[in-house]
Amino acid sequence: MKIGLSGQSGFLGTNLLTFLAQKHDVLIFPEVNRTLITYEKKIEISKCDVFIHAAEPASNENYTGEFMHLAMENGNVLGTLLRERLIYVSSVLVYGLGNSIPHGENDLPKPFNNYTEHKTRLENHLKKFDSRTFRLSNLVGIGMHGSTVIRQISQKIAKNEVFEIEPINQRDYIYITDVCEIFDELLLNFEIKMLNIGSGISTSVRELAQILQAVGFPDKKKLKVKEKSREEKSCIPNVSLLKSLLPNQRYTPLSVALKPTLSKEFL
């Protein structure tokens, strides 16, 4: 299968490229996120069976307009591809800064910054077509971004400092390799138009700190936590839907996923 991929230099894109290239012909398009797409690139994209748009724009309005324009083109192969064979990578952050995740696919988005506004705007545009949107939860694994709550907690544990938990304290984590396998399984599943991809398990920051303590700092003193008051809410796990689609998929436990990531460079 010929797969187009943008955002190949990011955490998800890097892992998708490595994983999918073992089975498929993967063409990378780094220009999609930064410049106008040339005619030659449009021809290359049109030859793909599936295009995974995993690029992460900050606030590039020119890019947004160009991509939407391509998705709206009629009467040409590229427009058809982007409408019918596109997988757009979004984020559960579009649901807003709630204190309980994962959310259900039918929950209304509540964007709160440029990033989530951009994601929501493009999601809404693509709903007009037959493209698919995968909203990803927090990804963990080797090569993950350093400015995560995992790093913040780990640094506090290493220094025996107090970590203050905010009221927004529920997070859903999934191992990057599991995500790559899910993408591979669903490449040609065109029935699903919107899917939250997560572990189906909501982990509180306190639980996350306990896991990090156990797998990364077993000899350190117990993490000192100052916990603010918060409202508890139940979670809406999506793991049952994913398991029905991928009956053989076994999600990697968070403790196993985190252990190799806690390198000296990460800390």
pLDDT digits (tens, 9 = 90+) for 215-237: 888 887 777 766 655 444 444 44
Beta bridge partners of 55: none
Q: For the chain, what are the domain ranges?
A: 2-139+174-197, 141-172+202-235+252-261
Decide: 48 and 3 in contact? Cβ < 8 Å: yes
CATH 3.40.50.880 fits 2-139+174-197, yes or no: no
Structure tokens that stand for 192 in this block: 């699903």
Residue 98's nearest CA partner among 110, 115, 89, 114 is: 110
Alpha helices by DSSP H, listed for the chain, are 11-20, 39-46, 61-72, 77-84, 114-126, 149-159, 176-186, 205-216, 239-245, 254-258
pLDDT tens-place string over residues 74-130: 556 677 777 778 999 999 888 887 656 667 788 888 888 888 888 888 888 888 777
Q: How confident is the model at residue 250 (pLDDT cuts 50, 70, 90)?
A: confident
CATH architecture of the domain covering 141-172+202-235+252-261? Alpha-Beta Complex (3.90)
Q: How large is the angle between the packed helices 61-72 and 114-126, nearest 10 degrees?
A: 10
Question: How many C-beta atoms surround the C-beta of residue 87 within 10 A?
Answer: 22
Cα(265)–Cα(267) distance, integer angstroms: 5
Q: How confident is the model at residue 57 (pLDDT cuts 50, 70, 90)?
A: low
Cα(60)–Cα(221) distance, integer angstroms: 45
Report the share of the chain in percent with pLDDT over 90: 17
Alpha helices by DSSP H, listed for 160-225, are 176-186, 205-216
Question: Which pTM was predicted?
Answer: 0.85
Cα(102)–Cα(203) distance, integer angstroms: 10
Cα(132)–Cα(193) distance, integer angstroms: 4
pLDDT tens-place string over residues 20-32: 999 999 998 876 6
Please, which residues have CB within 8 angstroms of residue 146's CB and are 6 or more apart in sequence?
266
With 50 as the cut, is the pLDDT of residue 69 above it?
yes
